Structures are given as C-alpha cells and as structure tokens.
A and B are shown apart, each in its own frame.
Chain A
Amino acid sequence: MFGCHEDKCLIDACRAGHTEAFGVLVSRYQDRLYPTVLRLAGCAEDAQDLMQEVFLKAFQKLDRFHEESSFYTWIYRIAVNLTLSGHRRRRTVTRWRQEAQISALDAAGDAHESDPSIPLERAERDRMIQNALNTLAPDQRAVVVMKEFDGLRYEEIGTILGIPVGTVRSRLHRARCELRDKLRGLVESEMSAGHPSEKSAVGAWRDVENP
C-alpha cells in the first residue's frame, strides 16, 4: 500500500500526509510499548489515554525525527516524558500517592481481564508490585521501570530523562530501597525461593564469595 513496510517508508508516507501509514506504525509498536506505559501510568485507563497521546504527539513531531535512533526508541522517549510531564501537570505528589492505591487495583484487574492467560495468582502478585511502584515518586518510578522492566542501561536512562548517570544511579537505588521496604514479604519469599532468574552481579558476587 505504501511501497514497502520498513519504518522509514512508512514515516515518509506519514510525512506525505498518509494517515493510514501512521496507523501501521502504531499497530507495529503498540503491543511493545503498552506494558511500559501501563507500568509508568499505574492503571490501564491512564495507559490507554497516554498511548493515544504518545502516538499523536509522535505524529505531530514526526518532522523532528531524524532517524538518529530507531522509531521505537523515539516513541519510547516520548512516552516516558509525556507520562512524567502528565504527572507533574495533573497531580501533587500527596494526592497522587493517595490515588495510587486505587489505580493499582485497577491496573491489576485490567491486566488480568485484558489478558486472561495471566494466572490469578500472578495477577495478584503484579497488583502488589504495581501498587508499590505507584507509591514511588514519578521520576523514581520511571527509572525503575526503564531499568528493571525494560533493561535500559544507566546512560540510556540518563539520555531519555536528561539527567546525569550519577543521578540515575542514586535515584534507582533509593527507589529500590523503598520498594524493598514495601514489598518485604514478597522479597523474602523471592529470596527463599532462590528465583531462577537471579543472576548477573549477584551471581557474580556468589562466585566471588564461593570461588
């Protein structure tokens, strides 16, 4: 329909005024982006609104996309910043923390309803974690989601948020400490279970500890 299916072709078609081409791009990346937006936003309803806002913003700013990064990286950055600016604009931290408890319940329920393949036990666990995430300050939550959930490196996080790597490091550590306190029960059970995915630095430290 638009000559080819590469992102670049579709973006060129968008710039030429073919709205449908942008629809193809949205379809391509919505499933990948939505979980991140959901974790950042805290509830499915806000996430849905944000998803639309993110893509609309991307369409408006398409002329500023110079393909220095992939299209997904670009819209990811828009999503994070839009979520944070939305929080700053809409809510005071106090009010936001009060709302977080409610929105977290919505998030878990929505996640389970939208994807019934997720077992109820897992959904409950998700609800608790999301609840804890929602109590974090938005900038801390963003760092945690980008690092833990999406596996970005500090430098990438710093670039997206426009902060030094040192700030990323301290912000992430404080956020983890807060989550540890709020999720103590889950953390203990996770440690006792010896979660199979526990690896990397801790695994390396075990090697150091037990050569």
Chain B
Amino acid sequence: MNPDDEIFLSAYLDGELNPREQLRVESLLRSDPRLAARLHHLASVRELVAGLSRPLPPHDVSTMVVARLREQQERRFWKRPFGGRPASVIAGVSAAAALILMVVGFALRSSEDHAVRGPLAARHIATNRPQASLPTPVEVSTVRPASPNALSQPRHSDRSTEDLALATQSEDQFRRILDNPNLKRIFIVTDQIGGRASEKVNKLVEYMPRIDSTFARVTIAEGIIIDPKHPGEAQVFAVAVNDQELRQLRGDLQNAFPDGSVEEEQPEPALVTQLADIGQVSILPGTSVPRLVSSSRVQERNALKADRPVIAPDPPAEDDVDEPGIERYRSAPANVAELHQPPGSPRPGRVADEKRKQTPDFSRNSVRVASIDRMRRNRANIVLIWVASR
C-alpha cells in the first residue's frame, strides 16, 4: 500500500469507506502485517483523544454573556435608542435626566405656590450646556424669581470659580437624584410629522388633577438630534404622580391615542447615568387636587430647600418675625389671621409670642416632615411622556 492508500486506513477505522473500498483495505490488511499494526496504532490514537476528560466551564458563561449583551445594548441605546425608534430619544433621554431634576425640584412646590405666583406663570429655563448651567433641585427650589420669566435668563455668563464649584456640586446632586428609583415609566407617543400629539399630551397633563400639579416640558430642537434620519423635534413631558394618578394617566393616554401609538417602557438604567445637552425646559402649572394647606408640607419644602436632610429646624429669630414671609404665615396657621389684618395693625410682639409658643412643635413637626418626606420618596413616580415624530 502506498502512502496515499494509507489514508484509507483512517477512513476504514471510522467506517467511512464504501463497500468496495472496504473490501480492498481488508485485503491489504490480510497481506501486510505492518499495515495491520498501523491500523491498531491509529485506533489507539483515536481512543486516547476520545477519552479526554470533559470538564465543566470554570465560570458560568451565561451570566457573563448576558451581562455583555446588556452592555452592548446600552451602548447601542445611546447610538440608536429604543431599538431603532427615533434617535431623538437620545436628546429626549438627556432631557429626561434634566427633567427629573426639574420635577424633583419643582414638584415639591405644592399647588399653593401656584396661587401665589399666578396659575399661568410659566418659567422657562433655556440651556445649551446643562452640565455647566443646569440648576439643581436645591438651586431651583431656593430661587424665587423676581418675575415669572426670571429663570429664563441665561445663567452662563461670567462664571466664577465659585460658580464652577457649585456647578460641580450641582452635578453631584443631580446624579444622586438620578440614582433614586423614582423614574418609573416612560410613555412613548409616536406622532406623525406635523401631527398634534404633543398638543394633546400637553392638555392632558395640564388638566389632569394631581397632587403635584406642576409639570415640565422639554422641547428638543432639531440641532440636538443625533440621527439625521429623524430630524424632527421631540417634546418630553415630565410629571410626578402617585400610583393612582399613574393609572389614571395611563388610561388617559390610551384614550387619547386609541390607535396604539402609545408604548410604555421601563426606563433603562443607562438613561440616567450621564448628562448631555438638553433642549428648552419649561416648568408649567397643572391642575391641582384641592386640599388643605399643611404646615408640615411647607416645613418639608423648606428643609429640602436648605439642601439637607429633614432635621429639626432652628426656631425663628425674632428679627425674622418682623417681616414674615407668606410661607411663614402658612407654616403657622395661627398667623393666617395676621395675614388678613389690615396694614398697620400692631402685630410684631404678638407674632413673636405665637412663634415662641410654637417652638416646641418644631421638633415634632420635623419628625412628621421626615416621615412625610420618606413617604413621598417612596410613593412618588416620575413619569416621562415622550412625544416623537415618526
């Protein structure tokens, strides 16, 4: 048998020869003992390899694979979010992040704030570089604009070192807020180009009674859209709702868009991990549910404004009592009567007395405020309604 013929030995060993080839090999094997010995050697090799152990993988591959798939999906999300939906989502997502900030800051302003500043007072915040100029909840909630449009003034000029430090701090605070689990839902409304879905959603959000009636609206301009295939604008609405209100909102959206153009998504964790450019943000008043003014509510708000956990506040200084702010009257129902007294009525001493009498209540109030704060954090849902053109 020549070397080429030896190839048939392996095939004979494996039972891969046709009957004619098999007969030929068997004939050769009978006539050549060396060939028979080679066959046995090859058979031994085969048995050695076949007998190799079959160890289990040292690590669970599925865990690693799923983790990597999620990473890839998250990376793709930023390039082409929501599996091919309009890429304006990227801008929307960034806006969403900003909206959470805005909503957390502004939703804590109760409906009584609207009564003070007027029901239709919309405040606009226009930003091009949110990381530098994005207001934090604390900043926003402590700033009381001189006029309804005060916040629309650009805040990016002549930034000092202190401003930059504050911006960094604000970013940290912002990230902390984004880490909270309150962003529960994203409703995606797909609109036709030139459609009026955004207008419908705006009305729906504006007239749906909610405890936290304030809502935010972000307009994402063309310039921010990354995917040139979807150059249309997008609008994102953000509301803070409790569970019952969320159910109602879902139902209202489904009724408003019965053609199935509303989809509901769980927000991806990646949505809230970074900041990006945002569009123009408007904070707007909605329709509040009538309720009694709660003193603890104001305390809660004040505590949040002070950028600290809710702790027992210091008793008010007497100097402060001479010119009580509106909130102070609210925080102390006994003082409401003072608010309605005619100008010039003697009050400082009496107000100071009232304040002193209430001093022991602050610690009790603060406990209650902390409790309510916890409840609010646990129960509030931040919901985004994102209207994008097809």
Interface positions of A (Cβ within 8 A of B):
17, 19-20, 22-24, 26-27, 30-31, 34-35, 38-39, 44, 47-48, 51-52, 55-56, 59, 110-111, 113-115, 118, 122-123, 126, 129-130, 133, 144-145, 147-149, 151, 153-154, 165, 169-170, 172-173, 176-177, 179-180, 183, 186-187, 190-191, 195, 197-198, 200-202, 205, 208-209
Complex interface: chain B residues within 8 A of A201 (CB): 12-15, 39, 43
B19 within 8 A of A: no
- Contact across chains for A34 and B55 when beta carbons are under 8 A apart: yes
A203 to B145, CA, bound (A): 96
Complex interface: chain B residues within 8 A of A126 (CB): 52-53
Complex interface: chain B residues within 8 A of A59 (CB): 65, 69
A27 to B65, CA, bound (A): 10
Contact status of A195 and B62, CB under 8 A, knowing A154-B14, A173-B6? no
A133 to B42, CA, bound (A): 14
Interface set, chain B 61-89, CB cutoff 8 A to A = 61-66, 68-70, 72-73, 83
Contact status of A114 and B55, CB under 8 A, knowing A149-B49, A208-B29, A209-B30? yes
B58 within 8 A of A: yes
> Closest residue to A169 on the B side, CB-wise?
B11
Complex interface: chain A residues within 8 A of B194 (CB): none
Interface contacts (Cβ under 8 Å), in number, total 167
Contact status of A173 and B41, CB under 8 A, knowing A48-B58, A130-B52? no
* Interchain Cβ contacts under 8 Å between A and B, 15 examples: A17-B83, A30-B62, A31-B56, A34-B56, A35-B55, A122-B53, A126-B53, A129-B48, A133-B49, A169-B10, A173-B7, A180-B45, A191-B41, A197-B47, A205-B39
- Contact across chains for B52 and A39 when beta carbons are under 8 A apart: yes
A176 to B57, CA, bound (A): 27
Contact status of A176 and B58, CB under 8 A, knowing A19-B73, A118-B53, A123-B53? no
- Contact across chains for A169 and B65 when beta carbons are under 8 A apart: no
- Contact across chains for A191 and B44 when beta carbons are under 8 A apart: yes
Contact status of A187 and B61, CB under 8 A, knowing A26-B66, A173-B7? no
- Contact across chains for B40 and A202 when beta carbons are under 8 A apart: yes
- Contact across chains for B26 and A205 when beta carbons are under 8 A apart: yes
Complex interface: chain A residues within 8 A of B54 (CB): 35
A30 to B60, CA, bound (A): 8
Complex interface: chain B residues within 8 A of A133 (CB): 49
Complex interface: chain B residues within 8 A of A51 (CB): 57, 61
- Contact across chains for A34 and B57 when beta carbons are under 8 A apart: yes
Shortest CB-to-CB span from A181 to chain B, Å, is 10
Shortest CB-to-CB span from B320 to chain A, Å, is 57
Which among B36, B43, B65, B72 is the interface contact of A55 at CB below 8 angstroms? B65
B20 within 8 A of A: no
Which among A35, A148, A202 is the interface contact of B39 at CB below 8 angstroms? A202
- Contact across chains for A129 and B68 when beta carbons are under 8 A apart: no
Interface set, chain B 5-40, CB cutoff 8 A to A = 6-7, 9-16, 26, 29-30, 36, 39-40
A115 to B55, CA, bound (A): 6
